[in-house]
Amino acid sequence: MNLAELKEAYKARKLALDSAKKEEEKYKALLKDAMLEAGESDYTDEAGYRFERIVQERKSMDEEKLLAELHERNLTGCIKTVEAVDEDATLKAVEAGELPQEVLADALKVTEVVMLKLTAPKKAKAKKVITIWKTPIVATVEQVLKDLKLQLYGAGLLKEIKNTGSDLMCTCPFHANGKEHNPSCGVLLQQKVTKDKTYEAGTVHCYTCGYTADLPQFVADLLGLSSPVEGFKWLVNQYNYQTEERELPDLDMYRGSTAKSSVLEESLVKQYTQNLLQSEEACRYLHKRRIANWVLEAYELGFDPEDKTVLFPVRGMDGKVIFYKGRSIAGKHFYNAKEIDKTSVVFGLWEILNGSFSWGTSDQIEEVWITESEIDALSLISYGVPAVAIMGSHISEDQCKELERTPFRRFVLATDNDDAGRKGASQIKMLLIPKGFRFINLKWHTSLKDINDLVKEYGDGWKDHLTGY
């Protein structure tokens, strides 16, 4: 069999086996229940196959409970001591020069495991469309209204209140200067057919002032366009477009970077930033977390007013924003862009390398702090400390490669003050010390969880509660 035939043969058998396993489990469960109901524990068919319903007791030792009893009774002879490498102590020995770095590098085993994985194709999601003037528009009514609201942000128009299922109720932009308190404007989410007339999706009717229009007219009136035709053109241009692939310049610093690029339009980035600067609520949230105004602007933080989410931009190799990490200001909720794996990039690395900060240029920086979250990094930056975030407790191979491409070779590990943070710090050192990096370990003299909590609590005196740097 050739390669193509082998692939097809394997796929056919794998799919058949998976299907058979599901069927087997289904009928096994049904048969066990049926035998219990019939009071039957075993049965042999005419062909000699025997069916047995067996009930077994599986016992396991609660080791934690027993260990506590053994310690209580001073029966330490019943407790085994297993010899194992203390990773933290070993890394400290390397840092102190007691153990050659080469020994650690030699002991670092890399095992190649060959696996075969078959993944079913993803079903293509049908694009949601609405029909305007017999023309399909690749969007939903909700999307159109949200985009119009964003475009008019600052005017306070189109406050979307409630989705009733058949329509969307919002404040009417055409009376009371768009400032009415009770939403009176209904926008059809889908086509509505009555005895007398058919109303297309996007039809707008205000139950207070009587304004009625189709979606092109509504867009034209809202944006100040000359006619419904111009409103229709806006809809077509906005949603029925073809995306273009862009090639990004390859900077020497980032040659071969692992971060994939999906560059956001500069206008969208600026809009998000403007949203933040105009939102007292979002700015107040960040100020409470001791993020300085100059940091908000230098890092071009954004805000999505619809979801009440502060947006932290992550930049690619050319300084363009490739995706956002989102953090809700209404509760502890986090959002990640689906297009880019966050473990392939390091937040704030481009800014440290290319920004104009008080600590000088990248070749003048002696050490960089590594944090878990972007808000921890920005807290440090607000106090003049160069910092980046790996957006989690553990570092990935791709993120290690990103750091290797920089001139920095000494880092302060400012992961969270908990078990996960300490394990993450050990993992970072284990991966990067063999590659020539040096690390400074922080000792926390407080029970606070992370750097941002420390800065919020102690302000200018935050360093007094840490030693090691």
**Per-residue pLDDT, 450:** 93
CA 72, distance to chain mean position in Å, is 46
Nearest CA-CA partner of 452 in 391, 332, 372: 372
> Mind listing the domains of the chain with CATH numbers?
130-239 (3.90.580.10), 253-467 (3.40.1360.10)
265: DSSP letter: P
**Per-residue pLDDT, 454:** 93
What DSSP string runs through 131-166?
EETTEEESS-HHHHHHHHHHHTTTS----EEEE-SS
**Per-residue pLDDT, 341:** 63
**Per-residue pLDDT, 273:** 85
Contact present, 450 and 375 (Cβ < 8 Å): no
For residue 274, report the phi and psi dihedrals to the nearest 5 degrees: -65, -40
What is the chain's pLDDT, residue by residue, as a tens digit (469 residues)? 889 999 999 999 989 998 999 999 999 989 988 988 898 888 888 888 889 888 877 776 778 888 888 888 888 888 877 777 777 788 778 777 888 877 777 777 666 666 666 677 766 666 678 888 888 888 888 888 877 876 665 455 677 667 877 888 888 888 877 777 788 888 988 888 887 788 888 899 998 898 899 999 998 888 888 888 888 888 887 777 543 333 322 323 333 344 444 556 666 778 888 888 888 888 889 998 999 888 888 898 988 887 788 888 888 767 788 777 888 887 666 666 544 566 778 999 988 888 767 676 777 888 999 999 999 999 999 998 999 999 888 898 888 988 988 888 899 999 999 988 998 898 898 888 888 888 888 889 999 999 999 999 998 899 999 987 5
What are the residues whose beta carbons fall under 8 Å from the beta carbon of 321, sequence distance 6 or more? 263, 264, 269, 300, 313, 314, 315
**Per-residue pLDDT, 306:** 76
Secondary structure (3-state) at 321: strand
Long-range contacts of 244-252 (CB under 8 A, 24+ apart): 248/316, 248/317, 248/318, 248/320, 249/317, 249/318, 250/317, 251/317, 251/318
Nearest CA-CA partner of 202 in 137, 149, 125, 152: 137
**Per-residue pLDDT, 151:** 63
**Per-residue pLDDT, 462:** 92
396: amino acid identity, one letter? S
